[in-house]
Structure 1
Amino acid sequence: MASTTTTTPTTIDKTKPYFPLAGLATDGWSTEDEATATCFCGAVQLSFPTHGPGFVGSFVCNCSDCHKLTASIHATNFTVYDTHLKHLRGQENLKTFGQSRTVFFKTPGQDNTMTNYFCNTCGSLMYRVGAAFPGMSILRVGSVDDFSLHETKLRPTMEQFTKDRPSWKLPTEGATQFVEDGLHV
């Protein structure tokens, strides 16, 4: 008869800062008002506000752009005003890829360019800048160093492009649902 071992999962208090092993950098931090986001190799690090005038909001996006960019079925994002986004290191290491054929095409002749900023070393997508979102940058929650913020201050309040969400993925609990773009309603 085979022996089975039952283990009890370790419980983490997600209301307190939590920095698990996630990439090569070990210098991420958070305060009451600000936190860091770091690429996988640690070459690029940003700081951003976690609330207040510089923090716009957090959302899940199921659009086809996010499917391809994340190689997954959705992206969990947050938006901050560019005036509050700080490059702590590695800005010169960022490479860009932009294109104008995006899901945010609304008006013929309008600039629809979305520019993606990637770490040149490890390829991590650090943020996106879109003509449809002047003065703002869209960051990925997964790049945030303090994982407790995923559960608290960065918890999505909106889910957009639900028309492209796979049927086996449930709606994001507590988030307002939008069939298409929820940012321009």
Structure 2
Amino acid sequence: MSPSPTVKPRTYFPLAGGASDGWSKEDQATATCYCGAVQLAFPTQGPGLVDAFVCHCTDCRKITASMFASNFIVLNSHLKHLRGRANLKTFSQSQTIASGKAMTNYFCSTCGSLMYRIGEAYPGRSILRIGTVDDFTLHETKLRPRVEQYTKDRVEWLHDVDGVKQVKGSAYALPGVAAKSFL
């Protein structure tokens, strides 16, 4: 059984970055880059929100300049660009992607925040970073990771997350295989 989270207010928007207009509703919230130029809206429940996960793959480690990435998957049909779409720059490559297919990264061209990734191996889905979500309460509630993938690449000094499914490789279906929703 996982430990119960500390009781916090219904929403929590700490002073972080250059934007102060993020919002959170029962079924939708915003994700904003560090400078505030790019803002997205996404579902926090229902069919548009597929899953939340921690990834230890070497690609996620390198692109986040950290030891893992905390992500959530949203169906493209449910992701809205509120502002800054023209401000996004992309970088795409397939050389280090486990599927061998291209992964395109969308960055704010002003502050460099990685807002989301789109992989050819996962059509119709965007992979957003939990850290971009404006309401920090969602980090511990609706967006709490349920899967930890590529644990074979996890650094030894970092231990598995309590109560989270551990997967040595990818936890997500490839094209032609039914996608599983964990949330």
TM-score for the superposition, normalised by structure 1: 0.88
- 1:97-116 aligned within 5 A: 97-105=91-99, 112-116=101-105
Pairwise mapping of residues 2-17 of structure 1 onto structure 2 (< 5 A)? 13-14=7-8, 16-17=10-11
Which of 47, 54, 57 matches 2:51?
Answer: 57
- Residue 15 of structure 1 deviates from its aligned partner by 5.3
Q: 2:120 aligns with which of 105, 117, 131?
A: 131
- Alpha-carbon shift at residue 184 of structure 1 (Å): 2.6
Offset of residue 36 of structure 1: 0.2
Residue of structure 1 aligned with 2:106, choices 117, 123, 129: 117
* Greater Cα shift, 57-66 or 168-177: 168-177
Structure 2 residue aligned with 1:147 = 136
Structure-2 separation of matches of 1:97 and 1:164: 23
Q: RMSD across aligned C-alpha pairs, in angstroms?
A: 1.2
* Count of equivalent residues: 169
**Residue in structure 2 matched with residue 71 of structure 1 by the alignment:** 65
Which residue number in structure 2 is paired with residue 85 of structure 1? Answer: 79
Q: Percent identity?
A: 62
Q: Deviations over 1:73-116 (max 9, x none)?
A: 0000000000000000000000000001133326xxxxx00000
Question: What are the ranges of 5 or more consecutive residues in structure 2 without an aligned counterpart?
Answer: 1-5, 175-183
Q: How does the TM-score come out when normalised to structure 2?
A: 0.89
Q: How does 1:38-57 map to 2 (within 5 A)?
A: 38-57=32-51
1:35-73 CA-to-partner distances (Å, cap 9, x unmatched) read: 000000000000000110100000000000110011000
Q: Is the 8 A contact 1:102 1:114 kept in 2?
A: no
Code of the residue aligned with 1:97 in structure 2: it is: F
1:33 corresponds to which residue? 27
| Aligned counterparts of 1:94 and 1:43: Cα–Cα separation in 2 | 9
Larger Rg: 1
SS at match of 2:62: helix
The 8 Å contact of residues 95 and 117 in structure 1, kept in 2 or not, is answered as yes
Deviates more, 1:119-128 or 1:167-176: 167-176
Cα contact 2:97–2:103 (8 A) shared by 1: no
Q: Name which of 126, 139, 145 aligns with 1:156.
A: 145
For residue 47 of structure 2, give the secondary structure of its aligned residue in structure 1: helix
Q: For residues 99 and 7 of structure 2, what CA distance do their matches in structure 1 show?
A: 42
What SS class does the counterpart of residue 72 from structure 1 fall into?
Answer: coil
